[in-house]
Amino acid sequence: MIVPGRLEGRVAIVTGAGSGFGAGIARRYAREGARVACVDIDLDAARAVADSLEGPGGHAFRCDIADGASWAMMVAETTARFGPFDTIVANAALTQKPARLAKTPERDLDRLLAVNIKSFYHLAVHALPVLRKRGGGAVVNIASVTAVRPRPGMAWYQATKAAVVSLTQTMAAELAPDRIRVNAIAPAVGATPMLQSMFGPDDQASIDRVVATIPLGRLCTPDDIAAAAVYLASDEASFVTGAVLPVDGGRLVG
């Protein structure tokens, strides 16, 4: 049973809100009382989610998180519409096709690094000043359990998620004096479109093999991640910073 209103009066940016975990987080945040900036490189997808929000609702904004100018414009548009935001969910990311180390095309690697890691530089330059100026806030980063429990064939994606864990810890230490809390969620493999971009639409055998490695015996859902993201953004977590919360069905201990 969800008690509504845990994010009453809040304004949240959710990147990658057009799909998967981000869409689930945006919907739950709105139900908990936040106004939500649904940010995505795919504006139509973000609009569809923004239009579906309950509670105080939200609005869709286009942003390529790998691009600083795109961040600057999105932050300006968001604050013009909602006023200063207090919560940022850094969720958008790319994955890679399973491949041995040297088999990933260099161009794909460069884009992966830009979207999954360099985007945090742009977030720091363009979005953190808004939190700092309003006197604090919460950042929730979406990492992955694969950052610390890797599988073969996913080296570069997993390395970017290990970087998200490291960045979360450094950001938490560096931003605590500004009253900005920074935490991460480490999901197990999820039932989202990202799964298909990893394995292809018909590869049920690979999905079954992955599920067999998760003690609770199922894929992670957007609701699982949204529940954790509400907690970490809410005042219930007011003394929690620098944490990396596994939401992984026991993958780490299995």
Ligand X SMILES: NC(=O)c1ccc[n+]([C@@H]2O[C@H](COP(=O)([O-])OP(=O)(O)OC[C@H]3O[C@@H](n4cnc5c(N)ncnc54)[C@H](O)[C@@H]3O)[C@@H](O)[C@H]2O)c1
The nearer residue to ligand X, 21 or 29, going by C-beta atoms, is: 21
Rg (CA), the chain: 17
Per CB under 6 A, which region of 1-9, 13-21, 130-138, 165-173 contacts ligand X? 13-21
Chain positions 133 to 152 lying near ligand X, rule: CB under 6 A, are: 142, 144
Residues 221, 85: Cα–Cα separation, whole Å: 26
Minimal distance, residue 179 CB to ligand X, in Å: 25
Q: Pick the binder of ligand X from 78, 87, 91, 168 (CB under 6 A).
A: 91
Instruction: Tell me the number of residues near ligand X by CB under 6 A.
Output: 29
Residue 20 contacts ligand X per CB under 6 A:
yes
Instruction: Give the start-end residues of each E strand in 153-209.
Output: 180-187
157 tagged catalytic: yes
Identify which of residues 152 and 177 has a Cβ nearer to ligand X in the complex.
152
Q: Which pair of tokens denotes residue 238?
A: 């007011």
Sheet of 11-15, strand order: 58-62, 35-40, 11-15, 87-90, 137-142, 180-187, 244-247
Of 14, 74, 130, 195, the one binding ligand X (CB under 6 A) is 195
| Residue among 29, 121, 157, 231 flagged as catalytic | 157
Member of 7, 22, 36, 120 binding ligand X (CB under 6 A): 22
Q: Is residue 222 within 8 Å of residue 25, measured between CB atoms?
A: yes
- Return d(Cα 109, Cα 82) in angstroms, integer: 35
* Phi/psi at 100 (5° precision): -65, 160
Q: Which of 193, 242, 250, 254 binds ligand X (CB under 6 A)?
A: 193
Q: Does 93 bind ligand X (CB under 6 A)?
A: yes
Measure the CA dihedral 189/198/113/231, to 10°.
-20
**Residue with smaller CB distance to ligand X, 66 or 138:** 66
Nearer residue to ligand X within complex by CB, 41 or 138: 41
Long-range CB contacts for residues 151-154, cutoff 8 Å, separation at least 24: 152/100, 153/98, 153/99, 153/100, 154/95, 154/96, 154/98, 154/198
Q: Which is nearer to ligand X, 178 or 223 (CB)?
A: 223
The residues carrying an active-site annotation are 157
Residues that bind ligand X (CB under 6 A): 15-16, 18-22, 40-42, 45, 63-66, 91-94, 115, 142, 144, 187, 189-190, 192-195
